[in-house]
Amino acid sequence: MIITWSKYTGKTDPDGGGAITYMTAASVAKSLDGKARRRDTRNPLPRILRGSPDLVGAMITSIPFKCRYSSGVLSFEAGDIDLALFHASDPALIAQLRRVMVEFEEVAFVGVPVHQRPPILWTSHSHTGRLELNFLIPRAVYVAAKVTAKRVGVAAVARLGVGPDMVIKSYNPHPPGDEARKLMDGFRDRCNSKFGWADPMDPARRRALAIPDHELKLARNAARLGAPVIKTSDREQLHEAVCGWIREGQINDRPDLEEKLRRAGYEIVRDGEDYLSIRSLRDHPKGLPRLTKSMRMKGGIWSRAFRSRDYAMALIGDAKRQELAGHHKKRKALDDDEYQRGLERRRKFNLQRYPAFQLSDDEPTSPNVTIGNGRRELPIERNVASPIMIKPMEVGGMPIGDAAKITKLRLLRSLYPVDLPEGLVDQIRFVNVDKKAVFLADGSVVQDTGDSILCNKTSKVAVRLMALEASAKQWTVCEVTGPDDFLAALAVECGHLGISVSGIDERCQHIINDALVAAELPIWRPDGEQTPKEDTLVPELDPHANVPPREQGGAVPPSAVDLSRDDPEGDNAVEPDEYGPSI
């Protein structure tokens, strides 16, 4: 297994639609020579393994930074993964791949709590005869706005509701530098060793010339789609010339190679452990390419491992690949201790740069919360047959410089297409899109469970937000429970939005009706008509009315408000004693 990161970061793909389409589409246009393109039909279809395209697209759209996402692929050799078992959703194999994906995320976000990470999309491609696990990561995390700890490497933990506001901050899961590269290399080596997968760094697999990934991909596309073979590149032309020098005995090691290149009119711009970067200084003998820009040459004969002609001949000749082990200095695998030290250094760095915060203890929670428009996370058995496009969302007249507000508003609008009243955005501390929970500045938490909207305590801001969410869900009638002041305030807010409110008993209905009369709003009746505001009679609740009745004998949450039956199977059911007032 090998990990490859894409160079694209969403600078020209602000909603992530291009990346999501590539990962999920049944067919895509493939480049053959950097210009010509041919349609490549994927059979079998891509599969969504983890995450939601809609949710990840909404998060990418909400990010106010130039670099919006990172993407890449975990590629396996054909013999590493049995595709027949994979397509049959073999439980052991699927569990193995899930462990790999989870550990990859832990390495990429070490030190960042799960609730502060962005949603991540994983899909599979297997139409090439081998498995590829593609990932798409929004490049942002939530952090506490202030750090009060003074010691370096120690982050203050702010309690949501009483601590500082939450803000969004740019985060690169694979930053430049040797430290990050070694960490991902360590993850790769551990997985390959643990599961017995092919090791790309095995000396017996070393190539005389390492072709860049994009050039190899163009060649593979051309071969698979039956296109003409791409012409020989400057890199391959120079490599063939060097191989000729080796066969003729003109060079015997890398110092000889460097001297020969200089005499041929090339400049050694940079020399590394496994590469040489060169460019042309003057005209060259016939058969050698002119390099107007610096070009990096990688591979066995371009590395410092080239210390004898026998080693080079084993690479370019017909010798068995296993013979290379005798000539190549075996690489030192990243041992567990060094790997753990690297993780710890990255964890401390992330804790300092991305301050952690804890969610409120009285946060409403429920398993299997629906995501956006009633859609759940797609199961692993689901194939994707059509592209998914995410439309960018507007931010109204909000100043573009207020990145945190823009992000919160966009995330909220990814759940509900509503226009918030003036000042309400300022009251939002944090939007957990995955749980459909909104944390407010006064410490209240509003959560949408599908068939109910819940809140942990009464507040004017929470009541207003709950009513707006109910309106966005196109509910017209709802049943409400909670403290008296909550019932009255919610009845008025819902009344202004055209939503009829009923109580669970006669006393609650009196409170609701009195509040509606005082606000000069019509009173709801179970027959669907509206009573004039002068009429303060309390209607008898009809069990056949369009208000969802409570089950007989069931416990009533002290602050639960059933608004609809979006979730008839009750997957979003919650424990009643966890909440304060809610609708």
2-201+342-358: CATH, from 1.20.5, 3.30.930, 3.30.310, 3.30.60: 3.30.930
Question: Which segment of 27-31, 312-316, 444-448, 545-549 scores lowest on mean pLDDT?
Answer: 545-549
Beta bridge partners of 50: 122
Per DSSP (E only), the strands in 361-488 are 428-432, 437-440, 445-448, 452-455, 477-480
- Residue of higher predicted confidence among 458 and 330: 458
Q: Is the pLDDT of residue 387 over 50?
A: no
Cβ of 293: how many Cβ atoms within 10 Å?
A: 8
State the pLDDT at residue 214.
53
| SS3 call for 328 | coil
Question: Which segment of 74-88, 112-126, 203-217, 323-337 scores lowest on mean pLDDT?
Answer: 323-337
* Mean pLDDT, residues 479-495 taken together: 87
pLDDT in tens, 391-418: 333 333 333 345 566 667 777 777 777 7
State the pLDDT at residue 132.
94
CA–CA gap between residue 114 and residue 555 (Å, rounded) = 33
Kindly report the pTM of this predicted structure: 0.55
State the pLDDT at residue 88.
92
| SS3 call for 132 | strand
* Mean pLDDT, residues 293-321 taken together: 78
State the pLDDT at residue 93.
93
Q: Using the CB atoms, write b or e for 174-208: b if 16+ within 10 Å.
A: beeeeebeebbbbbbbbbbeeeebebbeebeebeb
* Residue from 468, 490, 447, 469 nearest 455 by CA: 447
> Are the C-beta atoms of 279 and 269 separated by less than 8 Å?
yes
Task: Tell me the chain's radius of gyration from C-alpha atoms.
Answer: 31
CA–CA gap between residue 272 and residue 242 (Å, rounded) = 18
CA–CA gap between residue 90 and residue 98 (Å, rounded) = 12
State the pLDDT at residue 221.
55
State the pLDDT at residue 419.
73
Question: Which segment of 330-334, 340-344, 537-541 scores lowest on mean pLDDT?
Answer: 537-541
CA–CA gap between residue 307 and residue 283 (Å, rounded) = 29
Q: In Å, how far from its chain's centre is CA 109?
A: 11
Polymer length of the chain: 583
State the pLDDT at residue 143.
82
Q: Please, where in the chain does CATH 3.30.930 lie? A: 2-201+342-358
Name the token pair of 442: 């006064």
pLDDT in tens, 141-151: 888 765 433 33
Give the model's confidence band at 232: pLDDT under 50 very low, under 70 low, under 90 confident, else very high: low
State the pLDDT at residue 392.
31
- Residue of higher predicted confidence among 344 and 165: 344
Whether the ω angle into residue 44 lies within 30 degrees of 0, i.e. cis, is yes
* DSSP assignments along 209-273, one per residue: SB--HHHHHHHHHHHHTTPPPPPPPHHHHHHHHHHHHHHTTS--SHHHHHHHHHHTTEEEEEE-S
CA–CA gap between residue 583 and residue 577 (Å, rounded) = 15
